[in-house]
Structures are given as structure tokens and as C-alpha cells.
Amino acid sequence: ITRLARAYNLATPASGRILSGGVDSTALYPPKKFFGAARNIEGGGSMTILATALVDTGSKMDEVIFEEFKGTGNMELRLDRGMADRRIFPAIDVITSGTRKEELILDPQEAPFVWGVRRILHGIDSAERAMDMLIKGLKTTQSNTEFLVKMAKTAQDKRVTNGIDI
């Protein structure tokens, strides 16, 4: 999405309204319209649009573009450069990644378990350790449900061991 917005910024005639970072305000309209297509399909149906945004590049333009599109998606998958540099894959920051309104797509019986796993992951001090724990847990189970139940039991055991009852 960053490159699409940059291309429109170069090709769009100047409107006179320049945002910080040198982004013309009208240059962001076509990429926003493209994203809106996922919600406005004629005759119903659905379309999934997967896009990436460049962040931490040192470019104010990239930062402005990211901030403009940040709230438009249904989910955010954040990659961790440190993990990728250490060749740890998938290099996903599971702590900051997530789906908006996930309660609408989760099984009502599994939702509390998913949220419990998320709380456990948020208690871990690094994205790398959280991903490592997640991968190890998934490798030792045969299904998502089995994984969620195992994580809930582990969390319950730790609460009892530490004298905490939540």
C-alpha cells in the first residue's frame, strides 16, 4: 500500500494541499477507494485484499501513509525485523498482531480460550519468546481446540502455583 500511495503521489496533479512528508492529500484517495472495494462488491459477495505497509523506514511520507491506512483493515499482522534477521520464521510479532472484532468470527466456546492465550502472550517480555512458545505449543497438539485447552490448563496451573486465582 505504501508503494501504491507513493506512485499516486507522483502521478496525481498537485491539489495544493500537501500533508506532512510531502504527500498530496488527493493522492491517497485512489488507494483508499481500492481498499473500499472489499466492502462494496456489487451484488454482495466478498473480496479479501492483503496489503503491506512499510514502517520504520525513516521516511515521513511512509509514516503518513501508514497512519492513513492503519485503521482501515480488519486485521493487522506485524512482522518482527529482529526475528527475521535471526532467521526465526514465521517472524510474526504475535503480541501486537490481531484481528479487529474477532468475537464475530470466533466460536463462542473457543473465544475465552483464545483471549486467554493472548493474555499469556502479552505477559511474555519479547515477541521472539512469545512466538517460540506458540510454535512449541502448536507442534505438540493435533488441533487448535487441543492447543487452546492445553494452554488454558497451563495458565490455570501457573495461577494455582503462584497463589493467584483469576
Q: Which of 75, 55, 73 is nearest to 65 (CA)?
A: 55
pLDDT at 158: 67
Domain ranges for the chain, please list them.
1-73, 74-166
For the chain, 166 residues long, the average pLDDT of each consecutive 10-residue run is 95 91 93 80 76 90 92 86 91 90 89 88 87 90 92 73 44
Of 7, 3, 85, 69, the C-alpha closest to 36 is 69
pLDDT at 164: 43
- What are the Cα distances from residue 99, in Å, to 33, 64, 94, 102, 106? 22, 22, 11, 5, 11
pLDDT at 165: 41
Chain CA centroid to CA 110, Å: 20
Give the SS3 label for residue 124: coil
Q: Is the pTM of this model over 0.85?
A: no
pLDDT computed for residue 159 by the predictor: 58
Q: How far apart are CA 93 and CA 15, in angstroms?
A: 38
